[in-house]
Structure 1
Amino acid sequence: MMDAGPFLVLSAVLIGGTVFGLIAKRMRLPAITGQIVAGVLIGRMGLDLFTEHSVSALHPITEFALGLMAVSVGAHLDLRRLKPMARRLLLLLLLEMVLVTGVVSAAVVSFSDLDWGMGILLGTIGISTAPATVVALVKETRAKGVFVNTLLAGVGLNNLACIFLFEITRSVLRSAAGEGGLDATLFTEAAMQLGEAASAGCLAAIAMFLIRRWVRRVELITTAGFVAILLCVGLAQHFGFSSMLACLFLGLSQANVTRHREEVVDSIFHSFEPAILAAFFALAGMELSLEHAAAAGVGAVVFFASRLVAKLAAGSIAMRLADAAPRIRDRIGLAMIPQAGVAVGLVVLLEEDTVLRGAVGETIDVLTAVVLTAVVMNEVVGPILTRMALKQTGEAGRERRGLMDFIREEHIVLRLQSSTMEEAIEELVQRLGNLHRLPAATREALLEATLKHESEASSCLGWGLAVPSGEITQAEKMKGVLAISDKGFDFETPDGEPLHCILLLAFPESERPRRLRILTQFAAVLGHDAEIRERLFTARSAAEVYEVLLDAELFEPAGEEDESHEETAAAT
C-alpha cells in the first residue's frame, strides 16, 4: 500500500478505468461496469494499492464530476419541449416518486438491518435511471417516436426528482443527527438549503449568459463553463447547501432561461467526458470493501428486485392513466431499468458526509456496497431490457435524416384561435418563434415573407391540406410547425373544402430544393391516402398526430425525384 501523491493515484485510476471500460465494451457490456471493476481491483477489495489518505486527495475530482452530471441532467429538461407530454410525464414522475421510493424503502427495511432513514435514502436513489446508457441505446438502435420522446424526458425528470428527494432526505437526517431529533425546523432548513442552491445555480447561469454575449472563442466559453460549475460547487461547500442541486439549477437555467445550453454542458462533455467519467466510476469502485460487499449481498438483491417491480408498476399505471398507446404503457417501465452515474454519485456524497457517518457509522459503507453492487446488476440487465423495449415498440430504426425530421411532438398544435388564414399564419409564426427562440426581427421578417407568398399564390394543396412557407435568413436548417383540426378551420379556400392541416415551413436559401420535395411528398402521401388523412385529421393528441406522420413515412429519407415529381413540385 502506497501513500502516493494525487497525480500518481489519478494516473492509475484513469488508466484502469479507461482500459477496463474498453474491455467491457468489447464484451458488449456498459463501460461503467468495467470502470467500477477497475476501481474494485485497485481499491480495498483488490490490490489495495493506495492509502485512504492518497485517495482522499482526489475528492475534488469526484465533486466536479458530480456537478457536471447534475448540470447535464438539468440541461436536458427543456420545459417548452415537455409541454405536449406534460400529462404522461407528470403521472410517470409522481408514480415513480411514490412507488419506487415506497416499495424499495419498505423492502430493504424488511429484509436487511437498515433503519427507515437509510431505507428512504435507498428508495430515493432507486428512482434514478442512467441517462447516458439510455441515450446510447437510443442512438445505437436509431430509435425515434413518441415512446423515445417520453422515455428520454422521463429519464431526465426522474433524475431531477431523485437528486431533489435525496438531498432533502439527507438534509433532514443530517439535521436530526446534529440536533438529536426531528422537528418542524428541520424541514424549514431543508427548504432554505433548496433556495440557496437554486440561487447559486441561477446566478452562475446568468453569469454564463453575460459572458456569452461578449465571448465567441470556443476555448474561452469552455473555460467559463468550468468556472461556472466550480463556482456552484465552491459556494455549496462554503455555505453548506447541496452542490448537486446548485448544478442542477445551473443546467435547468441554461436550458430554459438562456439560449446557449451548450456552453456549459456540451463543450465540456465533448472534450472531457471519457476521462472524467472513467476516473469517477473507478474511484467509486475503490470505495467497496470485502466485508461490506458480503454484508450487502442480500440487500443488493432486494434493492434490485424491488426497484425492478416498482419501475414496471409505475410505468404501466402512469401510462394507463394518461391514456397512452398500449405499446408505450406496457414497455416504458422496462426501458427505465438502467442505473449508473447519478446513483453512484449520491452514494459518493454519503461516503464523504462526516455528519451522517458520525451518526450511523459503518451503515453508510453497507449502503454504498448495496448501491454499487445493484448498479452493476442494473447495468448488465438494464441495457438488455431497454433495447428489447425499443425494438418491441417498433421505433427502432426510425431515426434517419428525412424530409420532415424537424417536426417533433412539441411542434404540433391541435387548437388554433384564428379565424382567417392570415391570422393562422401569424399564430403559427409566433409558435415557431417561441419554440426556437427566434428574435423579434426574425419573426417579423418570416411573417412578412410568408404572408407575401400567400397573397401571391394560395398555399392550399387540396384534400384539406395547406403548406404556407417563408424564407428565413438567420437559420441554417429548415424549421416548421403543424396545426391540425378535426372540425376544420373556418377559412375560405380555393377548392371550397375546409382545411384540416396546416404545415408552416421556415427555410433558409440553401433549403429551397428540400421545401419543394416536402410539398411533393406531403401532397403525394396525404393526398392519395384517405385513411391516413382520416387518422391525421381526427387525432386526439400531438402524440397521435406524430405517430400518424411516422406511419405515413413522411419522415423517411427522400430519394432522387423523378421528372413527374419535379413537375408536381413546380406546379405547386
Structure 2
Amino acid sequence: MSFLETVRFDDPLLNLAMVLVCGIVGGEICGLLRLPKVTGWIGTGILLRAMSLPGLDGEALQRFTPFMNFVLGYIAFTVGAALYFANLRNAGKRLSLLLLGEAIVTPIVVGLLLIYVGGMEMRPAILLAAIAIAGAPGTTVLVVQEARARGILTSTLIAAVALIDMVAVGMFVFVSSFLHVDNNFFEALGYVGFQVGTSFVIGASCASLALVLNRTIAGPAFLGPLMVAVILGSWGAAVGFGVSGILACSFAGITVTNLRHETVRSAEAYLHNIGGVLFALFFTLAGMRLDFSQVPAAFSLVVLYFFARLSGKYLSAFTALGVAGVPSRVRNYFGLALLPHGGVAVGLILLVQSEPHLQGVQEIVTTVGLAALAINQLLGPSAARIALTRVGEDHKDRPRLLDFLQEQRIVVDLKGNSREEVIKSLANHLYATTKLPVPQKQFVEMVMEREAEVTTCMGEGLMIPHTILKEGEEVKGVLGISTEGLDLKAPDNRPVHAVLLLATPESERSRHLEVLAAFATAITRDVNLREQLYHARSAAHAYNILHADDTAELNYFLEDVMERTRD
C-alpha cells in the first residue's frame, strides 16, 4: 500500500477548512463583479458538490449539522435582538397588518400559483409557501447600512423582517405538523402553541440567566461569550424539548434587548468579529445541499416560485400599509424591499430534509427552494436598495437637528385640560421611549418650574416646554399634536396644536437654542408646514412632514451648519 493510499481527506476540520477557503474565494469573486458575496458562497457550494470531493459528499454533510444549527441560532438571536419594543411605539398597527398579510396573502398566492399554474402537488407546494414568508434580516440590515438610510420605510422594514421570520417559522411548524398528524387542523394548531410557548420559556430563561451572571459573576468582557452560550443553550434545550431552536433563539434575543438594551450592541460587536467566517461556511454548506442536476428539470418551477413570492410580498405589503394609512410612496415600494431571502429560509429547507414524515417531497422542496433563494440573493439586495432610493430615504443618516424626534417619540391626538396635564402626558411617553438621568417626577417638576417663570407658548399654536439637565449627552424630546387644539391659555389666545417637550443636557445648550429657534421660526412663518403638521393623521405622517427635504429650515444637517460656521 502506497503512502498516498493511506492518507485520509475526510476529517471534519480539514473539510471545513476546504469549504471555508473555497467559499471565501467564491464570495470575493462575486464581490469584484459587484454581486452579493452570499451569491458567491452558495454558487461555490453548488460547484463543490458537483466536484464530489472526498469528505464532501451528501452523507458527509450531515456531520456539519451542529455547526449549521449554531449559525441558524445566531441569525435568529440577532433577529430577535432587533425587536426593541420601545422603538416600535406608533408602528404597532402597520406591523400587525403586515404580519397578518404575510401570514395569509403571501402563502396563499405562492401556494395557489405553484399548484394551479406549476402543477405541483399540494404537500411540497404548501411547504414552499410557508418558506416563502421568510425574509433576510442580515441582508436587509446590510443594505440599509450601505445605503445610509433612515426613515419610515427603513425603520418599519428593520422591525418587519425580524417579525416576519418568526411568522415564517410559526407557519412552517403549523404546515409541517398538519402534514404529520393526518391533516388535523386543531392538532396542528395546538402543536404550534406548544412550540411557541415552550420556545419562549426556554429562550427567555437562558437569556435572563446570562444577564444575571453578567451582573453578578461574569464581567463585561465576558458578555459576548455569554451570548454565545445563550444561543447554544437555547438551541440545545429546544432540541431536548422537541421544539424549534430558531424560535427559542429568537425569543432569547428579544429578551436580552428589552431587559438590557445597552448590552445588545456589545454582544453583536463580539459576534460580528466571527460573523464573516460563520456566514461564509454556512451558505457554502447550504449550496452544497443543492442537487444542481435537478435544477434544469425544475427550472420553470424555480422561476414561478420566485415571481409568486415577489407577487405575494408586494400584494400583502401594499394592502396592509394601505389599510394602515402609510404614505403612498412607502406603500408603493415596501413589497420590493421585502424581496431578500436568507438564512431562516435555508434553515427551514434543511428542516424539511431532516423530517422523516416529509420523505418524498424533500428533493423538490430543496431544489426549488434553494435555487429560488439563490436568485433572491442575487436580485434581492438590489431591489431593497432601489426601494430605499425611490422613497428618498438613502443617505439620510447624517446628523440632523431633529434626529431625536423619531416616529416613536411623536404622539397624535394629544389630550389635556391644563399645561401640567399635557406635560405629564408627554413625560410619560418620553420616559417610555428614552432613558433620562433624573426620575420622571423630578423632571416634570423642573419643567413646570420653568413654565411658571415664563410661558413657553410661542403663538400660532406652538408650545415648547423644556428644562436643562446637569447630566446627559444629547437632546431628548417628544412631540404631541392635537388636531382640535388645546385651550392652554396661550398669550395670543389661540388653541395649542403642537407641544414639543425637551430635555437638554448642560453640554447641549447651543443645540437646544437651535431647536427652539428653528421650530418657532418654521411654525410661525410657514403656513403650509404648520397646517400639515397640525393635521397629521399619524405619527408616521408627522415624521415625514418634519424630516422631508423641503423642510430644510427646520431640519437641516448639522454638519452643513458646522461647515458654514468654519467658512
TM over 0.5: yes
Q: Is the 8 A contact 1:124 1:165 kept in 2?
A: yes
The alignment partner of 2:90 has SS state of helix
Letter in 1 for 2:198: E
Separation in 2, partners of 1:459, 1:424? 13
Specify the alignment match of 1:403 in structure 2: 401
Unmatched segments (≥5 aa) in structure 2: 1-6
Specify the alignment match of 1:557 in structure 2: 557
Residue deviations 1:380-404 (CA, integer Å, cap 9, x gap): 2222322222222222333321111
Q: Is the 8 A contact 1:21 1:31 kept in 2?
A: yes
The alignment partner of 2:485 has SS state of strand
Which of 347, 350, 353 does residue 345 from structure 1 map onto?
347
Specify the alignment match of 2:147 in structure 1: 141
Identity %: 33
Separation in 1, partners of 2:325, 2:300? 38
Q: Is the 8 A contact 1:466 1:499 kept in 2?
A: yes
Specify the alignment match of 2:3 in structure 1: none
TM-score where L is the length of structure 1: 0.90
Separation in 2, partners of 1:307, 1:186? 24
Separation in 1, partners of 2:134, 2:411? 32
Specify the alignment match of 1:520 in structure 2: 517
Letter in 2 for 1:294: P
1:128-527 to structure 2, matched below 5 A, reads 128-173=134-179, 175-176=180-181, 182=184, 184-214=186-216, 217-260=219-262, 262=264, 266-351=268-353, 353-356=354-357, 359-361=358-360, 363-436=361-434, 442-473=439-470, 475-527=472-524
Q: Is the 8 A contact 1:472 1:507 kept in 2?
A: yes
Residue deviations 1:96-138 (CA, integer Å, cap 9, x gap): 2212111212222345575322211110111122222222222
**CA shift in 2, pair 1:355/1:20, >3 Å:** same
Separation in 2, partners of 1:37, 1:282? 7
Separation in 2, partners of 1:152, 1:203? 26
Letter in 1 for 2:445: E
**CA shift in 2, pair 1:499/1:182, >3 Å:** closer
The alignment partner of 2:135 has SS state of coil
TM-score where L is the length of structure 2: 0.91
Separation in 1, partners of 2:425, 2:325? 29
Letter in 1 for 2:430: L
Alpha-carbon shift at residue 231 of structure 1 (Å): 0.8
Separation in 2, partners of 1:83, 1:227? 31
Specify the alignment match of 1:548 in structure 2: 545
Stretch of structure 1 that moved more, 41-50 or 409-418: 41-50
Residue deviations 1:410-429 (CA, integer Å, cap 9, x gap): 11011333222222222212
Separation in 1, partners of 2:564, 2:300? 69
**CA shift in 2, pair 1:111/1:232, >3 Å:** same
Stretch of structure 1 that moved more, 367-376 or 463-472: 463-472
Alpha-carbon shift at residue 542 of structure 1 (Å): 0.9
**CA shift in 2, pair 1:100/1:45, >3 Å:** farther
Alpha-carbon shift at residue 221 of structure 1 (Å): 0.7
Separation in 1, partners of 2:564, 2:197? 63
Residue deviations 1:433-469 (CA, integer Å, cap 9, x gap): 1112558x53233223322322233223333222222
Letter in 1 for 2:356: V
The alignment partner of 2:91 has SS state of helix
Q: Is the 8 A contact 1:96 1:311 kept in 2?
A: yes
Q: Is the 8 A contact 1:470 1:505 kept in 2?
A: yes
Specify the alignment match of 1:86 in structure 2: 92
Specify the alignment match of 1:8 in structure 2: 14
Alpha-carbon shift at residue 57 of structure 1 (Å): 2.4
Alpha-carbon shift at residue 561 of structure 1 (Å): 7.8
Specify the alignment match of 2:78 in structure 1: 72
Specify the alignment match of 1:568 in structure 2: none
1:17-32 to structure 2, matched below 5 A, reads 17-32=23-38
Specify the alignment match of 2:4 in structure 1: none
Q: Is the 8 A contact 1:465 1:499 kept in 2?
A: yes
Q: How many residues are matched? A: 555
Alpha-carbon shift at residue 283 of structure 1 (Å): 0.9
Residue deviations 1:170-198 (CA, integer Å, cap 9, x gap): 2333x43xxx6647445433422322111
Q: Is the 8 A contact 1:288 1:369 kept in 2?
A: yes
Alpha-carbon shift at residue 53 of structure 1 (Å): 5.2
Letter in 1 for 2:162: G
**CA shift in 2, pair 1:303/1:488, >3 Å:** same
Specify the alignment match of 1:107 in structure 2: 113
Stretch of structure 1 that moved more, 496-505 or 208-217: 208-217
Specify the alignment match of 2:128 in structure 1: 122
Specify the alignment match of 1:570 in structure 2: none
Q: Is the 8 A contact 1:3 1:51 kept in 2?
A: no
The alignment partner of 1:84 has SS state of coil
The alignment partner of 1:57 has SS state of helix
Separation in 1, partners of 2:450, 2:28? 55
Alpha-carbon shift at residue 281 of structure 1 (Å): 0.7
Specify the alignment match of 1:569 in structure 2: none
Q: Is the 8 A contact 2:19 2:281 kept in 1?
A: yes
Separation in 2, partners of 1:561, 1:66? 45
Separation in 2, partners of 1:412, 1:183? 42
Q: Is the 8 A contact 2:84 2:261 kept in 1?
A: no
Residue deviations 1:227-277 (CA, integer Å, cap 9, x gap): 111111111122211111111211222233444460785244332221111
Asked if 1:61 corresponds to 2:67, the answer is: yes
